[in-house]
Amino acid sequence: MANPRRVAFDVLYKIETEESYSSIAVNKALKENNLNKLDSSFASAIIYGVLERKITLDYIIRQYSSVRLKKIETKTLVLLRIGVFQLIFMDKIPDSAAVNETVKTAKNLGLFKSSGFINGILRSITRAEEKYNIENIKNKNKYLSVKYSVPEDIISMWINSYGEETTLDMLSSLTGRPPLYARVNTLKGDTDQVMGELSRQNIIAEKTLVDGVISLRNTGSLESLNAFKEGRIYIQDLSSNIALTALSPQQDNTVFDVCSAPGGKSFTSAILMKNKGRIFSFDLYEHKIELIRKTSLRLGIDIIKTKTADSIKIPEEKSWNKADIVICDVPCSGLGIIRRKPEIRYKNNLLDNSLKEIQYNILCSSALLVKSKGKLMYSTCTLNPEENNKIVEKFLSEHSDFRGIDIILPENIKRTVKENPYECTLFPQSNDTDGFYFAILRKE
């Protein structure tokens, strides 16, 4: 059986060098290496812990290393992060095990010269009375960056956009794995029935603030669950469910989902519509369209029609007519999902605004598909007003035939910042959701 520390190294190195997504890389590695439940949990804890604290770990390593970080070979740096994370943030791991196993992994990788360097730094940390101190960092944003492992430019943008209190609350919520939410497919059973089935499999399922949405713990492999395989549940964050509940698609509506993959908003719309009406799901790539088709079949949904199309220019067909609802969930910088994919925060040029033109063009193109009195929802999974509020503000200023609709949120869902009544930004610290923005507009 594979060593969980080696599995953690392989995944972290792949993410570092190939910019792989953590969720995909972790699931693939755990399946391929056939780790038992305990070792899988240990490897996952190291992987996500290192990703969540990379800036902090690099700051600590720099305090003990005579070699600048840019000069440290990538494999060696990844191993140092793994070792330092265990020493400082995993209290149940003995220091000797953290040091010895990291050095052993280095030797197994053929890094014999580096093994002495790694050993020296890790043992220096174990001997230090105070393993690290960031209180001497004078610059506020630098201090917050090191403490919470979020780049300074993102912190600065958040403080300027949402205020210091909201930003601090958000930063403190970014460590640890977020809840896993599932939508119950009420076409195949009710919520209580599904929860009872999951409970009999020792899965902890709890109701949430949104009807039909449950949180899951202790699931193991989702693909192995009968409720998943047979289409009684599918995974979708609470934030998207809040937005779709507010949008409220009805039976016999025609709905266009212009950037639909992986299809969650189309599936939830179909369930809210009781599988009566028409949904057209578009995406640029055929393999993503095929995924929507397969999931629709698993869920027993037959009102979804799929088509490969560029969302900036959806080709109109006479048989479609205009839509009662158009869902416009655009590509974005992804700052709202860094709890799930912590590596996103380290990508270059996250705030370069190159997406704004694409987002705006998709929104304008989507508006052409809305019938008179129909609704248009613009949404992103990011937390940046430049991609959210300002896009909608610009659209409304240039499209006099659209007006905002006051959003009615599900009971007990909290607003965090003051916004127009037709838009809502969801924050992880407020409702335990992904960060998410949506606005609902009506064509006059």
Active site residues: 381
Contact of 327 with 256, CB cutoff 8 Å:
yes
CA–CA dist 266, 171 (Å, integer): 31
Give the bridge partners for 180, in sequence order: 216
Pair of tokens at residue 34: 């056939």
Is residue 310 a contact partner of residue 284, using CB atoms and an 8 Å limit? yes
Over the range 276-312, which residues count as b (16 or more CB within 10 Å of their CB) and which as e?
ebbbbbbbeeeebbebbeebbebbebebbebeebebb
Beta strands 436-443 and 423-426 are antiparallel
User: Distance from CA of residue 313 to its chain's centroid?
Assistant: 27
Q: Are 125 and 131 in contact (CB under 8 A)?
A: yes
Q: Is the peptide bond before 249 cis (omega within 30 degrees of 0)?
A: no
Q: Do 199 and 205 contact (CB within 8 A), yes or no?
A: yes
Residue type, 312: I
